Structure 1
């Protein structure tokens, strides 16, 4: 096969960009000559995350789609027209053979521009509740993939979320010693990893730092990723006894996962997928917004016995002392949850999706021939 020409469209948030880049990486592993172009906008993390992964980025005007009737909705048709024209110009210039969309501001113009040109469209939806962009894209193609079974539309195929090989191939036991040394943690004893996502979560930060005395008294070490703009002071106590390590951000999360025995975190789609793939049990605190979307993301691994759910309003130092400390002090229960989380995870979604994209290109060329 001569070099396939692929455009990936997934922008604005890391939850859209990361699966797109992971799929692109898998495409290059399967077909090193593949010419891959990423569509993005100046809104969000596109201009930061995509160039860092080594892919050419083409910018088009962002088109946020209002979820409810507002004045912004009246301005949408004009903005959408301009963005579709810009996306179409990119597709023509790179001679795209397929568009692979992951949702976000850039996906709708990419889908519409592709349809106008008769290009095949592949859609991947990471969330349990599809967004506006991918609901529209799914109507334009039979090539629709989701993270979990039961996600609309009915013709979608559940494959998981494309993840980095550093996560899917992680041997937590083998890396544990190195990872704990990296963060200044003891090699023995339970470690609680705390994270509120890339920006942190005030409620989680406050609850865990407030529970520091109880965690230390139980011999629990803490690796607390606060978020780059959030400040959490190191709680009082002897750090040589049970270290409480505070960092604003971790670039290579597989080290944090290897160091941990349990994670307390939000339940974004990428987080749920990564933790399950790594076989790392979690206590999920869904963001109490977006119609309960994050709760839906966590429910499959919770049902499998690999995680627990606690409402944001119920998370406080007292809950951590009453529920989390006993769990961290029970290695047999932690091990059982780890096995169940791993069984619920998907580790090959990047390759499965990339192979399908290449098959779509081959089919299109066959028809053209």
Structure 2
């Protein structure tokens, strides 16, 4: 079996994709797996380091904060689709797995044009634009959270949870909690960072440790708010 996994751009899409790739390699030792991501994304470093083959496509999502940047999309979208078609034709996958987000769109569109079955995975309770667009003709849409199926009226929806690498295990949480993890994803979230720093004194007074994944955009804020019990990660 030949599996093409499309997605990346952020850790939220990339790490589950790598978890699936590892599981596929165990289940199908004679199979082939290829990951397709965004040129310039973290996948260029992380996928080869994990021992998998990577192809990249120049692609960019819809920018809602700076709409003028979307003027280039009429040029970028056809270019990305042609690149994805070349990758699909060269690799000849039996199935394509789209891991959500705009990065998957060119490869999933190419699969649909070549009549190759594709499956989608959505990590948010509110599915993104790419998932909504491709859901109707997907073989299945795998979801992480209950309630997503109510927003995806078209397509075969299956609640699967999020793929995880080996090493995670169920545990009984401490009551009352002693350690708090705050994360806005691998890139951080500006509003969440600001909200965390605005109440950091209260959090540190209540909990033994605050672990805050602020992303690169929050590096200066981490330094400015350094104190005991607070561990900021850029």
Q: Same fold (TM over 0.5)?
A: yes
2:127 is the alignment partner of 1:130 = yes
Query: How many residue pairs were aligned?
Result: 218
Q: Which residue of 2 aligns with 1:163?
A: 164
Relative to structure 1, the CA distance from residue 150 to residue 246 in structure 2 (aligned partners, 3 Å threshold; closer, same or farther) is closer
**Aligned residue for 1:204?**
196
Question: 2:231 is matched with which residue?
Answer: 246
Q: Contact (CA 8 Å) 1:107, 1:134: kept in 2 or not?
A: no
Query: 2:110 aligns to what?
Result: 113
How far residue 65 of structure 1 moved from its aligned partner, in angstroms, is 3.1
222 and 64 in structure 1: CA distance in 2 versus 1, 3 angstrom threshold:
same
Q: CA offset at residue 50 of structure 1?
A: 2.3
Equivalent residue number for residue 222 of structure 1: 209
Contact kept? 1:40, 1:60, Cα under 8 Å: yes
Q: 2:30 is matched with which residue?
A: 33
CA contact (8 A) 1:108 1:136 kept: no
Q: Report the aligned-residue RMSD.
A: 2.8
**Structure 2 unpaired stretches of 5+:** none
Query: Under a length normalisation based on structure 2, what TM-score does the superposition of the two structures give?
Result: 0.80
Residues 1:101 and 1:43: Cα distance change in structure 2 (over 3 Å): same
Higher normalized helix content (fraction of residues):
1
Q: Secondary structure at the match of 1:119?
A: coil
- Indicate if the aligned counterparts of 2:10 and 2:187 stay in contact, CA closer than 8 A: no
CA deviation digits over 1:36-94, x for unaligned, max 9?
11111124422233223221110111132356994444532321111111111111222
1:94/1:226 CA distance change after superposition, 3 Å = closer
Higher percent of residues as strand: 2
Structure 1 residue 23 and structure 2 residue 8: aligned?
A: no
Change in CA separation of 1:84 and 1:224 when aligned onto 2, cut-off 3 Å: same
Alignment match, 1:288: none
2:226 aligned residue (222, 233, 241): 233
Aligned residue for 2:105, secondary structure, equals helix
**What is the CA distance between 1:142 and its match in structure 2?**
3.1
Q: Does 1:50 align with 2:37?
A: no
Structure 1 segment 259-338 matched on structure 2, within 5 A: none
The 3 A distance-change label for structure 1 pair 158 and 170 is closer
SS in 2 for 1:76: helix
Say if 1:122 and 1:141, in contact at 8 Å, map to a contact too: yes
Say which one has the larger Rg.
1
CA distance in 1 between counterparts of 2:78 and 2:162 reads: 31
Name the TM-score, length of structure 1 as normaliser: 0.53
In 2 relative to 1, CA 56–192 (structure 1 residues): closer, same or farther, beyond 3 Å? same
Quick one: distance in 1 between partners of 2:196 and 2:208? 16
